[in-house]
């Protein structure tokens, strides 16, 4: 779908009535509407090369007036509130039931993922990962996003240096 295209009234009505838990966002494609909004919650991380950790997180999938959502994530260390990680990008529909997540990280990475949307879940597979010359040696990332009612959960797997693709992060957030 072209970012400059417009949605038909029927498509807008479907987005507005896709679920009782989904706020009405007329310009958002109905398949993405359950993800739209501000989410706050907690997460935990683990990886073979680091200690386990907990964090708080705010994720926003913001309507833009176009048929895609602007994405932003900010995490903080649980307890101290120290900033940990941030990333931003876009979630866009590329087919009736297929989404693309574009992500930029200040650590020197850009990611492109695609996946089918099925029953509020997007299983995203990496299409491209680019890194700046001084970025850490990350070789692959896989993501899953799921919305059930007022809950957003996600999981992230990462291949780093000599470690193969391994589960790294799990988050559970509630719609704000």
67-119 pLDDT per residue, tens: 999 999 999 999 999 999 999 999 999 999 999 999 999 999 999 999 999 99
Alpha-carbon distances, residue 150 vs 20, 30, 68, 89, 164 (angstroms): 10, 16, 20, 22, 33
Question: What pTM was estimated for this model as a whole?
Answer: 0.84
- Region 118-134: mean pLDDT is 97
Determine the pLDDT at residue 158: 98
Q: CB-based contacts of 133: which residues, under 8 Å, 6+ apart?
A: none
CATH of domain 38-175: 2.40.128.20
pLDDT over threshold 50, residue 10: no
Please tell me the predicted confidence (pLDDT) of residue 68: 96
Evaluate if residue 172 carries a pLDDT over 70.
yes
Separation of alpha carbons 73 and 61, rounded Å? 9
- Quick one: pLDDT at residue 24? 58
How confident is the prediction for the chain on average, in pLDDT?
89
């Amino acid at each position: 779908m072209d970012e400059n295209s417009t949605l038909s009234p029927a498509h807008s009505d479907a987005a507005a009535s896709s679920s009782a838990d989904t706020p009405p966002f007329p310009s958002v494609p109905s398949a993405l509407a359950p993800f739209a909004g501000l989410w706050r919650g907690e997460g935990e991380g683990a990886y073979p090369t680091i200690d386990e950790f907990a964090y708080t997180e705010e994720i926003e999938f913001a309507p833009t007036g176009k048929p895609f959502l602007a994405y932003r994530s900010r995490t903080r260390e649980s307890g101290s509130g120290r900033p940990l990680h941030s990333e931003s990008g876009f979630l866009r529909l590329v087919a009736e039931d297929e989404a693309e997540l574009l992500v930029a990280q200040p650590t020197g990475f850009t990611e492109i993922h695609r996946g089918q949307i099925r029953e509020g879940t997007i299983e995203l597979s990496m299409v491209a990962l680019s890194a700046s010359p001084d970025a850490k040696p990350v070789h692959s990332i896989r993501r899953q996003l799921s919305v059930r009612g007022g809950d957003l959960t996600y999981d992230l797997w990462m291949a780093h240096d000599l470690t193969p693709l391994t589960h790294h992060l799990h988050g559970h957030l509630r719609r704000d």
